[in-house]
Amino acid sequence: MSMRFVATPTRVILKRFSPPACRFRRTAWSFTAGADDALQRICSAMLESGRRAVYCMPSFEMLRRYVRFAGAEPIEIAWPQGPLPADALIEAGRGAELLFIVSPNNPTGTVATREDLVRLRESLPGTLIALDAAYGEFADDDLTSLALSMPWTVVTRTLSKAWSSAGLRVGYAAGDVRAIDWLRAVGQPYAVSGVSLALAKALLENAEPLERKFVSRVRDERSRSHAF
Ligand SMILES: Cc1ncc(COP(=O)(O)O)c(C=O)c1O
């Protein structure tokens, strides 16, 4: 294989793969094999028997599995619809090592607000907050940049959803430098192949209008279905 695959300029990928307001200043990042790899690393790094992780349900089913694989206790807060149950999350999050916020949430499409995130961050200073922004491109207000401005907070994103490229297995975790160092330490050193990164770069360089078109179509359809 050509060494050019290995030398894929990751900054080009990150620049296009992140919301425009993200500058990655004072932020660490790491490519992962999809967002799944990032979420599992977060659990491996933060959890063990006797520790707790809090998240809402229904949500991305793998969260429960990753928390359990790490030997920790999952604390599930109901969020079937409507606003994020921030009070219940704060109550459950006291003394927990990890809090996941999936926004927009899968499968409900519910979203956390900026005010929610700020409140959670201020109320739970010792808890790592992980914002799963797998569907961030579909949100009216993508919380990634806000989350990256906060201490002890990480964000996970993926090319699997808005970019329709789940098979590439390209995602990233970004945020608090110490947390990202730990995530790097608990997984494979080169989790994403050079071929996938090269394809990701080609996709992001050439398909931006397509992504915009696709995202706006989904958002339009969502508005129409909400109108019923
Ligand atoms: C909310 C959420 N987070 C993360 C993932 C994992 O995505 P990936 O394909 O990047 O591992 C999914 C996939 O369904 C998801 O729905």
Q: Is the pLDDT of residue 49 over 70?
A: yes
Is 199:166 a contact under the CB 8 Å cutoff?
Answer: no
Q: Which two tokens stand for residue 39?
A: 């979420």
Kindly report the pTM of this predicted structure: 0.93
Q: Is the pLDDT of residue 30 over 80?
A: yes
Sheet holding 28-32, edge to edge: 28-32, 171-175, 153-158, 128-132, 98-102, 52-57, 73-78
Ligand 1 in reach of 108 Cβ (< 6 A) = no
- Atom number, ligand 1, closest to the C-alpha of residue 135: 1
Residue range 153-192, pLDDT digits in tens: 999 999 999 988 999 999 999 999 999 999 999 999 999 9
Is 20:162 a contact under the CB 8 Å cutoff?
Answer: no
Report helix, strand or coil for 39: helix
Q: Is the pLDDT of residue 98 over 70?
A: yes
So what's the pLDDT on residue 2? Answer: 44
- Ligand 1 centre distance from Cα of residue 133 (Å): 9
Residue range 52-82, pLDDT digits in tens: 999 999 999 999 999 999 999 999 999 999 9
Bridge-based pairing of strands 98-102 and 73-78 is unpaired
- Atom number, ligand 1, closest to the C-alpha of residue 170: 10
- Atom number, ligand 1, closest to the C-alpha of residue 38: 11
Pocket test for ligand 1, best of 32, 132, 156 (most atoms within 8 A of CB): 132
Ligand 1 in reach of 60 Cβ (< 6 A) = yes
